[in-house]
Structure 1
């Protein structure tokens, strides 16, 4: 007997995946969730009148959002689901809007050029003839929307790291390529005996300073301007170094170089922490990590690495005792830690 062919439904779902993301992005752009927040909901007619659109598209958008779990319906009124109320309303502690806007306005079109990126083996979202990397771009979509979205991801990663890694004995943490400062602030909130330094490009530390001041954490978290490739060394005087969603942006040799700089600057006995999306050792998944690798192809010169690749570079730099822990976070699925050996005692 001929074996029955598998159902094509999974292919159809994959092919139409962007339908769901565009529905979310459109509703967010229209500020639907902000308008519904704190209300008993709105009818289709009220939505149409408020946004001055026809009832036909209003009904379709509301139905689509409800089908995705973004809205709930009671009678003829639609209201935010708990998911939307928690993350899609501006001003909420874990507002997810910056990430949605960045993915829609910046990366949606770029993913349409994935074939080009695969053929050329280079990013398609910035001009390599004019700037050295994505992070040196002066495009306001990058400097504003991108870093706002990274702030959201880093906040979640920082909270996950707080319980996954014991930093109880740490006193000073250096967040290398620390972006908006979200991860450093999250860790400092959890570990009250620790202070942190956010080390990044001058164009980025200004963003971090604003977030740090707004959070009232200027006494715990500071910023240092720098370029981790151009600078001869990383700032010294820290007993923890964190690399959160940083090393995957760079080529293998560059990632190894950064870990060597980390080893040289870290205090003896200090801890290295690498967080991000790790692909498995077979390089068959998990899906989000694998697709994050393709996002790196579009945006950077790096890729999604395995835990053993990070561990290998760390060992080459001199670190010992590598350990990997799984994370459940929107910003990372794993963390690898390793230690710099304590200083050897020498006879007088």
Structure 2
């Protein structure tokens, strides 16, 4: 008897096609402050929300029913209210607010992604003008710059907690956060380890933006700043720990190796380097978040997301020892590569 092979479903492809629809639903609801309105008045009907927003009922109803289908809203009698997830992550001013990242992606990333084929054909970023800028960080648009760093902080806060839990820094006294703009990692690591003092090394304008954020925390007396460019300036030396979080994927292989050597020079003997990234599998067939971020680097930088094996090779080449990878699950990284300076 011949068995009939079941035909594969077309739905995974259809769900990929719908990806833009889903993301734009979230972006538009966030920009219209739909979730803030429901936090103020839970249970509003589509008509009541339309009045608050100054819009017609038909499009508002279509938007919020889709938000409900996505798990962003839930029915409350004749109206709707936020879900616990929405209240936790999408209310402006909340400690866990990730709306900054939504704004970065919608304002900065999406225009580049819509020209993905151009990036593929030219091997150049499409999210910024390569004729006028040297990198995505060379931007004079202050609103976009501040939005970028706010967005990075949004996804870095929970990731910093994951990094702190994946390593034991109880014997460390100094941490250098290289490219630590936004301050989320310095704050998270010093909060997790009370004996630790952190230095954020970044470009002057980034340090200026970050210093204001750090001053609003209870940790400002344990976090200092060093201005510089890690391609042209030496890093502060004598460090117990050096952290690179979401830094290396912005740069090509030779630039990554340069940064790793500079970090080696900054460490004390016995000091540790932490590289926190969305690591691509060594087999280069996943995971999806890391591979999508890598493709995002095509439209944003001249870098890509690298594998754990690639980092291991570069670290050993630079003189590090005891290289290991500690996986975890977080928005901005799926693991940390740990290496030691002998």
TM value normalised by structure 1: 0.95
Question: Structure 1 residue 258 and structure 2 residue 259: aligned?
Answer: yes
Per-residue CA deviations over 1:82-122 (Å, capped at 9, x if unaligned) read 01100110110011111111111221221110000011111
Could you say which residue in structure 1 is the equivalent of 2:116? Answer: 114
* Residue from 179, 191, 194 that aligns with 2:193: 191
Separation of aligned partners in 2, 1:138 and 1:189: 33
Q: Alpha-carbon deviation of 1:40?
A: 3.0
Most deviating of 283-292 and 42-51:
42-51
SS at match of 1:270: strand
SS at match of 2:158: helix
Q: Unpaired segments of 5 or more residues in structure 1?
A: 342-348
Contact 1:106–1:141 under 8 Å retained in 2: no
Question: Structure 1 residue 276 and structure 2 residue 277: aligned?
Answer: yes
Per-residue CA deviations over 1:48-79 (Å, capped at 9, x if unaligned) read 11112111111111100000000011211211
- Alignment RMSD, CA only? 1.2
Separation of aligned partners in 2, 1:48 and 1:136: 40
Could you say which residue in structure 2 is the equivalent of 1:64? Answer: 66
Q: Alpha-carbon deviation of 1:217?
A: 2.0
Could you say which residue in structure 1 is the equivalent of 2:43? Answer: 41
SS at match of 2:208: helix
Separation of aligned partners in 1, 2:330 and 2:10: 31
Could you say which residue in structure 2 is the equivalent of 1:182? Answer: 184
Separation of aligned partners in 1, 2:322 and 2:119: 37
Contact 1:263–1:319 under 8 Å retained in 2: yes
Q: Alpha-carbon deviation of 1:3?
A: 4.3
* Residue from 87, 92, 96 that aligns with 2:94: 92
Could you say which residue in structure 2 is the equivalent of 1:302? Answer: 303
SS at match of 2:221: coil
Most deviating of 131-140 and 192-201:
131-140
Could you say which residue in structure 1 is the equivalent of 2:222? Answer: 220
Per-residue CA deviations over 1:21-48 (Å, capped at 9, x if unaligned) read 1101111100111111154321111011
Separation of aligned partners in 1, 2:196 and 2:73: 41
Could you say which residue in structure 1 is the equivalent of 2:334? Answer: 333
Q: Unpaired segments of 5 or more residues in structure 2?
A: none
Q: Alpha-carbon deviation of 1:334?
A: 1.0
SS at match of 1:268: strand
TM value normalised by structure 2: 0.97
Residues 212-251 of structure 1 aligned to structure 2 (within 5 Å): 212-231=214-233, 233-251=234-252
